[in-house]
């Protein structure tokens, strides 16, 4: 029986010739990740083990990004805990204020993860790195802590769903619209503990940023991971950002899939997920007249340079509507700097938006954009559960940077086409 791409990576890291769906394995880890929310929980647990040091100081990444720069005393204590642990164990990849970014944008940018590797992170969106052809998945803080000390983790080998992408996206349609369409089609539990494996000739038309966005939200369909094949674009990205050796794994022709979906990218339209689940999708044309109060453009899903460029293209020469708060958050210092050098920040500010230092902030209802009762936000983030970005009576509508920026100008859910673009 053939293996999927994910199964091949897991077999190699478990020292096995082959694995099958449902099999329990112990696999070696190439990278272990934590942030300022999940890190302290793990640190307090691993300190009870009395183990002198971590398994490999170069294979751990600690990124205070959720409430950093420190929002309050409690968040300051959390960051201090992670900072002191990093110093005690001489952790190479520790990124805080001044060097930090939103973790799932920062790690690929820093070249810390490449094709064929395994990564666990105490954050559900660790599945982002599947865009590079790696197996990466979110775990609980305890599992992450154990991985930090042992370099190993237990997995149940997932079965897989195959998504065959054909055609090419139309203007103003992006990876965010692709994954929202898929989640709307299969549901938030449609890929529960399965690997979402993307293939097809349509992939070559997707940028790396599109792929990061799609893999990032695999968890919103309940998936264990999302993963893309390694092509010339992937290799070029890795060569630009990393000096690490990568390994390409390909699914066997006779690999088994629970389901196969074919999606013609050329048929997709700008899409929005209505409250209170990512599966509650409609095209912008179907959305109706939904007035909003706030727009957030950023996060580990859509805070990369292409996202900033798209938002700026929509906002250039236009103004954010009266009464609308528009918050733009470049995902890393590098994205912030590049946005500044390209004049994008000037466009945002002249349009009436504000620009924040890199932070997860509003995505999880942390800070920098909390919603009050009855308020609505269009956000490029990844979740819109009840109370996700603030009051339980607020509403979050998930969308692409293009739709978010257009909505900021009109004051209601809109596509760029409504602005004549």
Q: Domain segments of the chain: what residues?
A: 5-263, 271-419
User: Region 362-391: what's the mean pLDDT?
Assistant: 95
Residue 97's pLDDT band (cuts 50, 70, 90): confident
pLDDT band for position 51 (50/70/90)? confident
CATH class entry, domain 5-263: alpha beta
CATH class of 271-419: alpha beta
141-193 pLDDT tens trace? 999 999 999 999 999 999 999 999 999 999 999 999 999 999 999 999 999 99
Per-residue pLDDT band for 198 (boundaries 50, 70, 90) equals very high
Residue with tokens 């619209």: 177
Adjacent-strand bridge partners of 33: 61, 121
Query: Cα separation of 11 and 17, whole Å?
Result: 6
Is pLDDT larger for residue 202 or for residue 47?
Answer: 202
What pLDDT score does 50 carry? 76
* Backbone phi and psi for residue 173, each to the nearest 5 degrees, phi listed first: -110, 135
Per-residue pLDDT of 239-268, as tens digits, reads 999 999 999 999 999 999 999 999 999 999
How much is the pTM?
0.96
Q: Is the pLDDT of residue 129 over 80?
A: yes
271-419 matches 5-263 in CATH topology: yes
What number of other Cβ atoms are within 10 A of residue 80's Cβ?
14
**Cα three-residue angle 354-73-54, rounded to 5 degrees:** 100
């Amino acid at each position: 029986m053939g293996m999927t791409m994910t199964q091949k990576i897991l077999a190699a890291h478990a020292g096995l010739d082959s694995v099958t769906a449902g099999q329990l394995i112990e696999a070696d880890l190439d990278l272990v990740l934590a942030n300022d929310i999940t890190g302290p929980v793990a640190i307090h647990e691993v300190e009870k083990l009395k183990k002198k040091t971590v398994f490999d100081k170069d294979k751990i990444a600690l990124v205070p990004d959720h409430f950093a720069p420190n929002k309050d005393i409690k968040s300051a204590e959390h960051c201090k805990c992670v900072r002191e642990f990093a110093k005690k164990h001489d952790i190479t990849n520790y990124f805080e204020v001044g060097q930090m970014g939103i973790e799932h944008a920062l790690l690929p940018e820093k070249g810390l993860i490449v094709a064929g590797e395994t990564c666990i992170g105490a954050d559900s969106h660790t599945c982002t790195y599947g865009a590079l052809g790696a197996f990466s998945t979110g775990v609980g803080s305890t599992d992450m802590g154990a991985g930090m000390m042992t370099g190993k983790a237990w997995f149940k080998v997932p079965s897989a769903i195959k998504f065959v992408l054909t055609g090419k996206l139309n203007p103003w349609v992006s990876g965010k619209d692709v994954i929202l369409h898929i989640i709307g089609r299969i549901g938030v539990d449609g890929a529960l503990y399965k690997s979402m494996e993307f293939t097809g000739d349509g992939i070559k038309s997707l940028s790396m940023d599109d792929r990061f966005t799609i893999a990032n939200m695999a968890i919103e369909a309940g998936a264990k991971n999302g993963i893309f094949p390694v092509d010339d674009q992937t290799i070029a990205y890795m060569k630009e950002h990393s000096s690490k050796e990568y390994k390409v794994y390909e699914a066997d022709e006779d690999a088994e899939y629970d389901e196969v979906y074919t999606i013609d990218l050329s048929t997709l339209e700008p899409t929005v997920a209505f409250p209170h689940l990512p599966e509650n999708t409609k095209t912008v044309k179907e959305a109706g007249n939904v007035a909003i109060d706030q727009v957030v453009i950023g996060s580990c899903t859509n805070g990369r340079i292409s996202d900033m460029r798209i938002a700026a293209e929509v906002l250039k020469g236009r103004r954010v509507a009266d009464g609308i708060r528009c918050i733009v958050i470049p995902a890393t210092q590098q994205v912030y700097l590049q946005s500044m050098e390209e004049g994008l920040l000037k466009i945002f500010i002249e349009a009436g938006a504000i620009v924040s230092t890199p932070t997860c902030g509003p995505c999880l209802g942390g800070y920098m954009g909390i919603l009050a009762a009855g308020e609505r936000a269009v956000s490029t983030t990844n979740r819109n559960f009840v109370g996700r970005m603030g009051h339980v009576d607020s509403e979050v509508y998930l969308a692409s940077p293009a739709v978010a920026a257009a909505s900021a100008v009109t004051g209601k859910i809109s596509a760029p086409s409504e602005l004549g673009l």
